Structure 1
Amino acid sequence: MTITQYYILPTALIPNSPRPLLHYTNVLPAIAKGEDGFDRVDPVAGYTLFKKNGWQVAWIYRYGATQRSHFHPEVHECMIVLSGRATIRFGAGDISDDLHQNTHGDAWEKGTLVTPVTPDDPRGSAVIPGGTPGVYVVPSGGVTLEAKAGDVFVIPAGVAHKTLNTRPAAAFQLMSPGVGLSFGDSESKMPSTLASISLSGFTMMGAYISTEWDSAIRGGDFEASWMVPRPASDPVFGTGPEGLCGTWFGIPGSERVSMLRS
């Protein structure tokens, strides 16, 4: 497993966060390859891991070719890839409603190259305590990452994300029971229900600390997103220092918020 942190600065449209986006690779091992040749992981194992650490699983979606960039202003989110591969663009807003243009064209807030944080990097020292391997500062405009089965993303409130270039190609579909907000009354049956789901295309499982969550595509109260309290535990590492308990420093300090305003 590798752990990478991305501090993503705000844009004109997206608040992003003083806390880092966390990317954990190979959290769960592949259990099989589908007929399409892509790895898959056990959704029951993902569900059990998140639930053990106090995160409420809300949905399993099979993603289509693209979607609108969006963020959650008042809640942190985690997602685990269950099957397939895709590109996820974090931290950048769409500047057109045309899905072709904001996916394949120029209609999005393009960023610059991700740069490693070093001890003498003024951007790094303003955001985190010193230079650390696997920690990056992302200048305004976001970062594009590849996602594969077994990867987990822990996304601070306010950080935009957009899934595109999904492989293998498939139509968008909610794979879990309910309406995509929570599993509701079927919670007690979830292990058997999840085991019966036939994964195809690029699928992810999403979870939140609360069963109530919101979504936006641009604007809003940036500082309110920055001040959403830190969860008591990480969805993968619990209270261990490897996860958000060791990388998200409670309510962001005034120095970090001031840096984000500049």
Structure 2
Amino acid sequence: MDPKVITYYFADDGRIPNHPSLPLILYPGALKEKSDRIESIFNENNWRNSWTNGVFDYHHYHSNAHEVLGVQSGSATLQAGGEQGTALSVQAGDVIVLPAGTGHKRLNASPDFKVVGAYPNGMNYNLRRGEIGERPQALEEIGKVPLPETDPVYGTEGPLIELWKHKERD
């Protein structure tokens, strides 16, 4: 099976660092037929510390963990990569993997929009908003986040493993 993926690279915009080498990965419709099982699929693939909710309506990122978001219901437009980033239209069954440091926010959403979020190995995550004082520590933390051992949707054989394994760290 060759799952469809779309990758996006974002440069540091001076406020939102984004990741220096790893792309955001969008899996359109990857869990469309399994949207009621998103959390258990992530957990089975060792992406844990999961939650179900929406996405904040302000730019934010996690400097100490990668994050996966699986759209459980509804649809939304999310902006990734900061103010100059890309607007992504997502719907139930879509999955987005955000490398540490990658900015994201909700631009709009249907009333029933819900996502499941999770982190490799159940890592704890922080919340950064791109404030000047947090930047030196955030950049240091991003560089220390280990690559995941599994893809949140496809396990040990997933596209994330191949797309991220050859990327050099700054």
TM-score of the aligned structures, taking structure 1 as reference length: 0.57
What SS is found at the alignment partner of 2:41?
Answer: helix
The equivalent residue for 1:59 is: 51
The equivalent residue for 1:138 is: none
Q: CA deviation at 1:229?
A: 1.1
What SS is found at the alignment partner of 1:224?
Answer: helix
The equivalent residue for 1:217 is: 129
What SS is found at the alignment partner of 1:8?
Answer: coil
Alignment RMSD (CA, Å):
1.9
Residue 145 (structure 2) aligned to one of 222, 225, 228: 228
Residues 202-252 of structure 1, C-alpha deviation per residue, up to 9 Å, x if partnerless?
A: 000000122421010014232431441101111012121x42210113673
Aligned pairs (5 A) from 1:46-85: 46-62=38-54, 67-85=57-75
Residue 8 (structure 2) aligned to one of 6, 9, 14: 6
Amino acid corresponding to residue 53 of structure 1 in structure 2: N
Distance 1:215 1:62, change over 3 A: closer
Distance 1:249 1:223, change over 3 A: farther
Distance of 1:62 and 1:10 partners within structure 2: 25
Higher normalized contact order (CA 8 Å, seq sep 6+, divided by chain length): 1
TM-score of the aligned structures, taking structure 2 as reference length: 0.86
What SS is found at the alignment partner of 2:32?
Answer: coil
The equivalent residue for 1:157 is: 100
Distance of 1:62 and 1:152 partners within structure 2: 14
Distance 1:231 1:162, change over 3 A: same
1:208 paired to 2:119: yes
1:239 paired to 2:161: no
Distance 1:227 1:142, change over 3 A: farther
Distance of 1:62 and 1:16 partners within structure 2: 21
Aligned pairs (5 A) from 1:246-261: 246-249=162-165, 252-253=168-169, 257=170
Count of aligned pairs:
161
Distance 1:226 1:58, change over 3 A: same
Q: CA deviation at 1:2?
A: 2.3
* Segments ≥4 residues shifted beyond 3 Å: none
Contact 2:22 2:167 in 1 (8 A): no
Q: CA deviation at 1:67?
A: 1.3
Distance of 2:28 and 2:98 partners within structure 1: 14
The equivalent residue for 1:128 is: none
Distance of 2:54 and 2:24 partners within structure 1: 22
Contact 1:74 1:214 in 2 (8 A): yes
Q: CA deviation at 1:57?
A: 4.2
Residues 153-184 of structure 1, C-alpha deviation per residue, up to 9 Å, x if partnerless?
A: 0100000000121113xxxxxxxxxxxxxxxx
Distance of 2:49 and 2:29 partners within structure 1: 19
The equivalent residue for 1:96 is: none
The equivalent residue for 2:27 is: 24
Distance of 1:163 and 1:249 partners within structure 2: 29
